[in-house]
Structure 1
């Protein structure tokens, strides 16, 4: 499979970088994220699941195939201090684990599509889960083999808008179903359930928040960021066969306008310049503009890891001009006011 054959859907999150108003966010305020990067080789395509914002006080991390944490789905367990990796029952022999928390999937097939879960464990025993979903158009199942699935409409939801969790391929002769939200590794919050021949049930906290439709889809009204999370739909047919499907719902706030800062806009030739893009939003990516065009980095320019700082060293006459930075998330973007750098007269 080549990278041109499929379209990847990224769930929780799309590739983002988390910032504070001080540009570089300390590890205490950043949440782990996963960025899928497709690579293609002569032997077959591969996908690198790049882990970002991993806690500094990390004791261990684990990767799972699927949205649910279990021994059967465990791909690998990595202990940081000893730099040892133990592969689990979910390891196919084609996965490589890196010490920075990333996971490489080699020679991918249609069986490799679906959710992957990264679990981090800190030295203070705090644990976090991060989910990502891989999906390729070339890997669609025939109708007879189609499995229960959930689609978020829209895919990226703006806070305050409605979000529909649309169920597909519902089993025939349905006996019962339920909706839940993942709270942590072992706990789920039950939202709604129904025995098809009886009255449905809705959790009190969700009575004015969601609507459950006869086709078992779930509509969220006036979403907030607290609605972000992994949702689980479970169905039971007449033969008491159980199916589960998962979807990650991400609610985004529109970004605010960033502010571009520099110590002085009058610069001496051959000196060093640092431009800082300040944003009060989290979960944003950064882009730079020079004289109304996308900035093309030269050998004298570097960006900080999160791209919120631009370093120019040494500064030359061709660097004189108007600079702007853009912050964006999957639903919005804002551009700073222009900042003009001029050359100081000798």
Structure 2
């Protein structure tokens, strides 16, 4: 038992009761601020009001603060004007606190000759003020630099907590905060919170400048496309995550172009400028660099001057062959052949679709051939007519086999032939002067009866063929 308790027991014993049976419960322990006030109250206040109330202090000295009784108060000189006693509840209010008021406070009183006692404690603090947060450096490099932040404050027994963007980063009592190998997310603002049992104060904000990157270098192409026509204007832009902003250099197929800046403009671009473009981002603070993935630019010359050329000039069925060749100026990606508007089949086409070979030619190969030359930015169609000379075939004479005398003789000769056949006529084996597809004689005579022969001759193929027709001229029947 402490000296204060012994003193109390001695006093109470003198008036004839045991303190251990009459313990009072007080609020506390209490904390107070210099210049402030506190009130010591009983959790189990007396009833009825006590006849005598005594408050004592044990600290840097021992004093009876006050004896309060029905006729008045006896107050120690150090507490005059600083205390108030509630005679009903036995509570004590102490004002104008100083550090010397830190200590043990006890109360005792009599009620109908029965003694009671209890105690609590008070600690007097200076309020927290002048909270400052400082960093040992403010400009740092991501992953390379570390920073020490230090917090200071005026006041009694300060505890410290650190916050980054209002988030608690320590959760413990640390006057200093060390961030090792800072990242770009450690810029702050950092604040220090200083607190004691009396109050809490925050420091002003500390912001850090952290250089980082470049990261994620990316090339953007406008307009975005897979292929570009020669003469187009193209803009390439390079971006990266970097602080400070990165410096950029441009390369084509891995070779530096001597062009710098976040944009590369290709004006009136030509096929020779096709290739893989990349940018190199460099940060002068971090001394780091990053190269973007390549962006492929494919420039195609527009198709022009499409034409089909052929071998030979006069084609004869079964004797001739032909090679059709499709060419054009520009960047040729595809060629598509058609005949009379339909896809071309049944002929020999080379693997580049450049030539069509037909050997030997047949009459069915005649027609209108087209070749569409294309690339993703342009196309052009060339055409060529192919004439296959053949015949004559299927020579035939049409007319009436028996006619009345005096009626006209009218025979027509036909043949399948390209070009059209030339026709000659013979009668009973003797050549006549008649040429052309028609044989006409009027009026007919008996002597016109006989055998007529039509000979068809193709002037290109030099082939000829003939047909025979029997005609009978009859007299009138009366």
Scaled by the length of structure 1, what TM-score is found?
0.49
Q: Which has the higher contact order (CA 8 A, sep 6+)?
A: 1
Which has more strand, going by share of residues?
A: 2
Scaled by the length of structure 2, what TM-score is found?
0.36
* Greater radius of gyration (CA): 2
